[in-house]
Homo-oligomer: A and B are copies of this chain.
Amino acid sequence: MSPASRYTYLGPEGTFTEAALRTLPEAATRELMPMVSVPAALDAVRNSEAAAALVPIENSVEGGVTATLDELASGRPLMIYREVLLPIAFALLVRPGTTVESIKTVTGHPVAQPQVRRWMAANLPDALWESAASNADGARLVQEGRYDAAFAGEFAAATYGLEPLVTGIHDADNAATRFVLVGRPARPAAPTGADKTSVVFWLRDDHPGALLEVLQEFASRGVNMMRIESRPTGEGIGRYCFSVDCEGHLQDRRVGDVLMGLKRACEKVRYLGSYPRADEGRATERPGTTDAEFVEAADWLMRCLDGRG
């Protein structure tokens, strides 16, 4: 297939990222190529070797995926076109015939461990945990007989000739990972009515209240922030940029007005895209913030300038 029909993703095969990617209908007609790292997956897009990349951006237990946040904030610009929200539940994968009682060693990705710690304490109190390079890699090591069991996605069982002995394992209810489909900059998809906009901004200076003033740009237009994360700029302790998701689409007047406000108020702003919300939630529109009211206000200003206010 050509690069135009290739999607990269954070590999290897059999991870939750692949499962997330396969929830997208268009994935069925694309070449899906696992990459060794988030930068590698995204650089393939930057270099036109792939049309898009699916990478994790946020986990409800572990927090922001810093590699993804930092790659989106720097280097050649990229844009987010879709998000996928995947409930995270682990299966305990074993070689056929293995019983819970016989499990002495368990493996999985390091970030899986805090997510199944309580389950292990209750159900496998004596088993020893050792980390693997990825959940899929853990499954492979079980296949090879190095460990008795692996925590991984249930979908990884078949790939490695394993059986899911227990499924639906997760210490925290509502655990989920959010993935984003990233491409080269282009016109954002049309608004669906349930959209989200992502942006990164660098504050102009460090005076008390600088962040507050910028957040005021959102609040004053009734635009709800859904996520805010600070990331170091690399210029030293105490220097941050902020990665923010807010409700709405860039074509919503109030969102466009917020972004113009950020552009003026900040040292730098990078627009990361507007795309459908995975949760399909719709923003509530505060009085005074609808498109119609923005248009009406702009018309009124023109009339005032013309002496017909």
Contacts and interface: CB of A to CB of B under 8 A. Distances in A.
Interface stretch (A2-10, A98-106, A161-169, A237-245): A237-245
A30 B52 CA distance: 54
A60 B230 CA distance: 12
B307 A288 contact: no
Interface string A7-29: 00000000000000000000000
Interface residues of A, number: 83
Contacts of A226: 238
Interface in A48-66: 58-64, 66
Interface in A168-200: 172-176, 178, 185-188
A68 interface: no
A161 to B, nearest CB: 28
A276 B228 CA distance: 28
Number of copies: 4
A59 B225 CA distance: 26
A152 to B, nearest CB: 21
B208 A286 contact: yes
B60 A297 contact: no
A125 interface: no
A195 B100 CA distance: 53
Interface in A193-246: 204, 206-209, 211-213, 215-220, 222-232, 234-240
Nearest to A178: B237
B220 A240 contact: no
B228 A220 contact: no
Given A63-B232, A234-B61, A235-B172, A208 B187 contact: no
B212 A215 contact: yes
Interface of A: 58-64, 66, 77, 79, 85, 172-176, 178, 185-188, 204, 206-209, 211-213, 215-220, 222-232, 234-240, 250-251, 256, 259-261, 263-266, 269-271, 286-289, 293-294, 296-298, 300-301, 304-309
25 contacts: A58-B237, A60-B236, A61-B234, A62-B232, A173-B235, A173-B236, A174-B237, A176-B236, A178-B237, A185-B309, A188-B304, A208-B218, A208-B219, A209-B218, A211-B228, A220-B261, A229-B229, A250-B305, A259-B301, A259-B304, A260-B294, A263-B300, A264-B288, A271-B304, A271-B309
Given A174-B236, A212-B212, A260-B301, 4 more contacts: A175-B234, A208-B225, A263-B296, A264-B293
